[in-house]
């Protein structure tokens, strides 16, 4: 199976095709050609998994596990071939058979096991961990369906299942022998052990589910270090309670891993969601503990060997579950167990939006997980006692309690049970300690720290923008490809006219690539000679796609009413999925599509502007879209976007941030300088000051531009039905515009005008872009991971020479 030359690859490919499908290469279908290649690359990667594990077995060093309900991986073939350094070899080998590697790459569907930024962060982290040769594995659910596939029908979002497993998942390996039993329902039987004088807790009459792991290799770049993403799948157990309705049981089991919850901000389908959360952490902990005890006599040293990062509060029950394992399965006393457990976990917060902070009704957790619930109760009881002893403040105790008002606050459980709590950008962490978690910060300031997010420059620049990579390599040498901090060498060349021209040519090439992608997949035509102004991210009121489309509506009115109006031709690109139950968000999608249609059918308007809504926004779309864009729309209400990572993808590919002082935009603007980005609008503190006396109608009445744009939501300009967008209108005017769209509108118009001015001089514009690229090193997830290692995980880099 091994190949290091083109000839050995070709022979291996012929043989693998015969072994897999009983066919010659000429007889094989495209999918068979794809799967055969994936199988070979997987085998290659797994031999590196063996080398990595073998070494770790010997050293018995500390490992980090990233517990995340989401990993938004996207496609893996290109990434894995590139990281393994096999891309060119495989490409030319396949070409000898008349096979186009690009065509095989396009057969792979996205592994869309996540919603958006939080899941994509987890995926970027895996790439950086393996590349930096750090022992760090992912732990998640093997969903049968990824996040829904979005169709646009009659201008509206329609959701259909994302069948990512239809062709099978060629990257995974099933390990039935490593299955873990997970228990739901039943009750706790307490008995007295008279010999030890201890109470014995047993979870009885439970419904048992079998968690079967599927492992995917996570290939590092330019190293044999290969980690694992472990995905758990729920299957029927052999131990069914008597009288169980078999079909009902099977249905319940199948529901657990059925799909990604298409909502990262509100709380729906509560029971199944809680089952998912417990299922993957119980399975993950079960296998980690078992693995630990194969090499160590007890769990006493667990915290020296294992660190678990909780990606948001979804895996927070890990804290109670590890306590349960230590107390019930291994006979630890509470204090000893707690002293170990609270050194294992670290928690990352991803949002300050109150509706997205998980709170589960006590009754649900108690019914589903009676023993785990009783442990959460005990953690809460003891924590309340500690807070009261130190403060003698009953209000404070209630504010900080884990269980309050018959709900379990998952964030509080996470903070209390973790040794580290981090936000994901400087401003976000500041808001955590000043506001959301202020009481906790006062109580335990040493736990809190910031880890500004990052993205992997391999996927987001080197592999998806080969033209820019080549240009940069010519100018500053290849070192930045392996040590991304070297990208800053570009700074000395930003005034180089030839480089500026070459950069604009690369951007044009990437625009053509995007145009081709849009034409082939969605039959959309875009003018590559226009400004590409892009907002691509989940649809949410706080991200303010509405402000963006209102600005387009404002431009439309100007075109229609001002005879001498002119502006550089601009294509406004949108990509966004709305949670299926999020009515307002879906209306905004419809509005964007209706405005697009109206402009397409109006030759006068179409001369200046075009609106494109790209259906089914996902990682693969982002890979075409970010690097073809000129303007990066990052316009959330200040204080609401925790970090954003889309902003980093744009910046790294030479697009200018048109954004508010929010999330990582703050740090982007610090690094590139205010003159190299377009920052506008109210600051986070100004938003908070305005909140108490904000009257959106005043902005509507006092600014005729706003009035005209907002009125056209309800005067049939964009829809034959007058009440189609009444919800949006009411949100702005009647419900007082919670996200300050109207308050920031004037500044947003001005920012666009300034952008157009800058764009009118290609040399000025190219210089801006080059500065952005040069200053993007900080936003590499390699930097982020190094910060986590230094401050939180304390895991050791593996030597390349030890992996053979
Ligand atoms: C990067 C990315 C996101 C996150 O975008 P934000 O602008 O940070 O919200 C969401 N979805 C996909 C597919 C991405 O690639």
Helix pair 466-476, 497-522: axis angle to 10 deg: 170
Cα angle 290-296-302, degrees, rounded to a multiple of 5: 75
pLDDT of 354 > 90? The answer is no
CA 757 to CA 660: how far, in whole Å?
A: 19
Task: Determine the distance separating the centroid of ligand 1 and the alpha carbon of 645, expressed in angstroms.
Answer: 6
Question: Taking phi first (over 0 means left), then psi (-120 to 50 degrees means alpha), and beta for anything else, what does residue 149 get?
Answer: beta
Spell out the residues 6+ positions from residue 621 whose beta carbon is closer than 8 angstroms to its own.
517, 536, 575, 614
* Closest C-alpha residue for ligand 1 atom 11: 116
In the residue annotation, 645 being an active-site residue is answered as yes
Domains, the chain, ranges and CATH?
A: 60-74+109-453 (3.40.50.2000), 457-779 (3.40.50.2000)
CA 321 to chain centre: 25
Task: Give which of 537, 533, 635, 624 is closest to 578, Cα–Cα.
Answer: 537
Phi, psi for residue 789 in degrees, rounded to 5: -65, -45
Cβ-count burial 515-551 (b if 16+ within 10 Å, e if not): bebbeeeeebebebebbbbbbbbbbbbbbbbbbbbbb
Q: How confident is the model at residue 1 (pLDDT cuts 50, 70, 90)?
A: low
Task: Determine the distance separating the centroid of ligand 1 and the alpha carbon of 649, expressed in angstroms.
Answer: 9
pLDDT of 265 > 70? The answer is no
What are the helix (H) ranges across 109-202? 117-131
| Mean pLDDT of all residues in 759-776 | 98
Would you say 178 and 287 are in contact if contact means Cβ atoms under 8 Å apart? yes
Q: How confident is the model at residue 244 (pLDDT cuts 50, 70, 90)?
A: confident
CA 492 to CA 767: how far, in whole Å?
A: 11
**Helix and strand numbers, DSSP H then E, in the chain:** 33, 25
Task: Decide: pTM greater than 0.95.
Answer: yes
CA 486 to chain centre: 26
Mean pLDDT of the chain: 96
**pLDDT per residue over 409-467, tens digit each?**
999 999 999 999 999 999 999 999 999 999 999 999 999 999 999 999 999 999 999 99
**Active-site annotation holder among 409, 538, 640, 775:** 538
CA 226 to CA 218: how far, in whole Å?
A: 5
Task: Determine the distance separating the centroid of ligand 1 and the alpha carbon of 618, expressed in angstroms.
Answer: 8
CA 504 to CA 510: how far, in whole Å?
A: 10
What token pair was written down for 259?
């799909």
E strands within 590-715? 609-613, 631-634, 656-659, 678-679
pLDDT of 532 > 70? The answer is yes
CA 738 to chain centre: 25
**Active-site annotation holder among 447, 458, 507, 537:** 537
Task: Determine the distance separating the centroid of ligand 1 and the alpha carbon of 683, expressed in angstroms.
Answer: 23
What token pair was written down for 686?
């100004």
pLDDT of 269 > 70? The answer is yes
* Closest C-alpha residue for ligand 1 atom 10: 116
CA 154 to CA 157: how far, in whole Å?
A: 8
Task: Give which of 543, 588, 554 is closest to 706, Cα–Cα.
Answer: 554
C-alpha distances out from residue 738 to 265, 691, 700, 732, Å? 16, 9, 14, 8
In the residue annotation, 543 being an active-site residue is answered as yes
Give the model's pLDDT for residue 345. 98
Task: Give which of 66, 43, 32, 182 is closest to 134, Cα–Cα.
Answer: 66
What token pair was written down for 753?
């005008």
| Mean pLDDT of all residues in 306-322 | 98
CA 173 to CA 213: how far, in whole Å?
A: 8
* Closest C-alpha residue for ligand 1 atom 7: 646
Query: What secondary structure does DSSP assign to 501-520, as a single string?
Result: HHHHHHHHHHHHHHHHHHHH
Q: In what order do the strands lie in the sheet with 656-659?
A: 609-613, 570-575, 531-536, 631-634, 656-659, 678-679
In the residue annotation, 598 being an active-site residue is answered as no
**Active-site annotation holder among 543, 577, 671, 775:** 543
Count other Cβ atoms within 10 Å, centred on residue 381: 12
* Residues in contact with ligand 1 (CB, 6 Å cut-off): 116-117, 120, 537-538, 618-619, 622, 644-646, 649
Count other Cβ atoms within 10 Å, centred on residue 731: 21
**pLDDT per residue over 90-141, tens digit each?**
999 999 999 999 999 999 999 989 999 999 999 999 999 999 999 999 999 9
**Active-site annotation holder among 52, 223, 645, 657:** 645
Phi, psi for residue 394 in degrees, rounded to 5: -65, -35
Count other Cβ atoms within 10 Å, centred on residue 448: 18
E strands within 470-586? 531-536, 570-575
pLDDT of 267 > 70? The answer is no
pLDDT of 763 > 60? The answer is yes
CA 229 to CA 214: how far, in whole Å?
A: 8
Mutate to test the pocket of ligand 1, among 70, 79, 115, 120 (most ligand atoms within 8 A of CB): 120
CA 771 to CA 102: how far, in whole Å?
A: 32
* Closest C-alpha residue for ligand 1 atom 9: 537
In the residue annotation, 10 being an active-site residue is answered as no
Would you say 729 and 710 are in contact if contact means Cβ atoms under 8 Å apart? yes
What are the helix (H) ranges across 233-333? 246-256, 270-295, 302-305, 318-324
CA 417 to CA 411: how far, in whole Å?
A: 10
Task: Give which of 56, 58, 74 is closest to 225, Cα–Cα.
Answer: 56
Query: What secondary structure does DSSP assign to 150-161, as a single string?
Result: EEEETTEEEEEE
* Closest C-alpha residue for ligand 1 atom 5: 646
Q: How confident is the model at residue 193 (pLDDT cuts 50, 70, 90)?
A: confident
Phi, psi for residue 257 in degrees, rounded to 5: -110, 20
**pLDDT per residue over 499-520, tens digit each?**
999 999 999 999 999 999 999 9
Express as a percent the part of the chain with pLDDT over 90. Answer: 95
Q: How confident is the model at residue 268 (pLDDT cuts 50, 70, 90)?
A: low
- CA 644 to ligand 1: nearest atom: 8
In the residue annotation, 649 being an active-site residue is answered as yes
- For the ranges 168-172, 197-201, 334-338, 728-732, the lowest mean pLDDT is seen at 197-201
CA 543 to CA 741: how far, in whole Å?
A: 10
**pLDDT per residue over 592-644, tens digit each?**
999 999 999 999 999 999 999 999 999 999 999 999 999 999 999 999 999 99
Cβ-count burial 417-435 (b if 16+ within 10 Å, e if not): bbbbbbbbbbbbbebbbee
């Amino acid at each position: 199976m091994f190949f290091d030359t083109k000839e050995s690859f070709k022979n291996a490919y012929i043989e693998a095709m015969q072994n897999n499908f009983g066919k010659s290469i000429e007889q094989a279908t495209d999918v068979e050609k794809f799967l055969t290649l994936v199988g070979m690359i997987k085998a290659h990667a797994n031999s590196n998994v063996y080398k990595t594990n073998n070494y770790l077995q010997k050293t018995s060093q500390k490992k980090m596990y990233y517990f995340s309900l989401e990993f938004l991986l996207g496609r893996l073939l290109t990434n894995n071939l590139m990281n393994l350094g096999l891309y060119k070899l495989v490409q030319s080998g396949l070409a000898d058979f008349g096979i186009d590697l690009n065509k095989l790459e396009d057969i792979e569907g996205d592994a869309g096991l996540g919603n958006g930024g939080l899941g994509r962060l987890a995926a970027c982290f895996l790439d950086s961990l393996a590349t930096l040769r750090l022992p760090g594995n992912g732990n998640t659910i093997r969903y049968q369906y990824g996040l829904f596939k979005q169709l646009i029908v009659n201008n509206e979002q329609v959701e259909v299942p994302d069948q990512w497993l239809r062709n099978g998942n060629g990257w995974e390996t099933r390990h039935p022998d490593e299955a873990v039993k997970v228990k739901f329902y039943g009750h706790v039987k307490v008995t007295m052990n008279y010999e030890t004088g201890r109470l014995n807790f047993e979870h009885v009459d439970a419904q048992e589910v079998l968690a079967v792991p599927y492992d995917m290799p996570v290939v590092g770049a330019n190293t044999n270090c290969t980690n694992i993403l472990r995905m758990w799948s729920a299957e029927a157990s052999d131990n069914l309670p008597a009288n169980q309705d078999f079909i009902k049981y099977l249905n319940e089991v199948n529901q657990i891993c059925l799909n990604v919850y298409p909502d990262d901000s509100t709380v729906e389908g509560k029971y199944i969601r809680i089952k998912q959360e417990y299922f993957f952490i119980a399975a993950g902990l079960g296998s980690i503990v078992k693995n630990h005890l194969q090499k160590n006599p007890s769990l006493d040293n667990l915290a020296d060997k294992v660190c678990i990062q909780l990606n948001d509060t979804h895996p927070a029950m890990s804290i109670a579950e590890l306590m349960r394992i230590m107390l019930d399965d291994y006979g630890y006393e509470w204090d000893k167990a707690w002293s170990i457990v609270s050194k294992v976990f670290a928690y990352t917060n991803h949002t300050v939006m109150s509706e997205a902070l998980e709170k589960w009704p006590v009754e649900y957790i108690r019914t589903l997980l009676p023993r785990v619930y009783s442990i959460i109760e005990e953690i809460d009881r003891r924590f309340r006692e500690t807070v009261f002893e130190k403060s003698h403040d009953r209000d404070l105790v209630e504010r900080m309690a884990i269980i309050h008002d018959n709900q379990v606050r998952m964030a509080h459980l996470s903070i209390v049970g973790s040794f580290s709590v981090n936000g994901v950008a400087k401003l976000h962490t500041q808001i955590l300690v000043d506001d959301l978690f202020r009481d906790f910060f006062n109580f335990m300031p040493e736990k809190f720290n910031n880890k500004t997010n990052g993205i992997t420059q391999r996927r987001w620049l080197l592999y998806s923008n080969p033209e820019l990579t080549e240009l940069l390599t010519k100018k500053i040498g290849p070192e930045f490809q392996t040590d991304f901090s070297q990208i800053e060498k570009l700074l000395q060349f930003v005034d180089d006219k030839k480089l500026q021209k070459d950069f604009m040519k690369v951007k044009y090439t990437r625009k053509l690539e995007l145009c081709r992608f849009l034409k082939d997949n969605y039959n959309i035509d875009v003018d590559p000679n226009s400004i590409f102004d892009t907002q691509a991210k989940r649809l949410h009121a706080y991200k303010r796609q509405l402000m963006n489309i209102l600005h387009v509506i404002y431009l439309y009115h100007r075109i229609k009413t001002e005879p001498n109006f002119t502006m550089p031709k601009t294509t406004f690109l949108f990509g966004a999925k709305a949670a299926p139950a999020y009515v307002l968000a879906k209306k905004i999608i419809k509005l964007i599509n209706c405005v697009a249609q109206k402009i397409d059918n109006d030759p006068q308007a179409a001369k200046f502007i075009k609106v494109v809504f790209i259906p089914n926004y996902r990682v693969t779309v982002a890979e075409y879209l970010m690097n073809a864009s000129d303007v990066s729309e990052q316009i959330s209400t200040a204080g609401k976007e925790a970090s954003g990572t889309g902003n980093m993808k744009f910046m790294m590919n030479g697009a200018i941030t048109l954004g508010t002082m929010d999330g990582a935009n703050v740090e982007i603007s610090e690094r590139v300088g205010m003159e190299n980005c377009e920052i506008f609008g109210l600051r986070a503190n100004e938003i908070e000051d305005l909140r108490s006396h904000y009257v959106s109608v005043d902005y509507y009445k006092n600014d005729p531009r706003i009035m005209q744009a907002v009125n056209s939501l309800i005067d049939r300009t964009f829809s034959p039905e007058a009440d189609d967008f009444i919800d949006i209108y009411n949100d702005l005017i009647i419900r007082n515009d919670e996200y300050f769209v109207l308050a920031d509108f004037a500044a947003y118009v001005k920012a666009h005008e300034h952008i157009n001015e800058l764009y009118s001089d290609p040399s000025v514009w190219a210089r801006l872009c080059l500065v952005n690229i040069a200053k993007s090193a900080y936003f590499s997830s390699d930097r982020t991971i190094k910060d986590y290692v230094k401050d939180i995980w304390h895991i050791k880099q593996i030597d390349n020479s030890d992996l053979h």
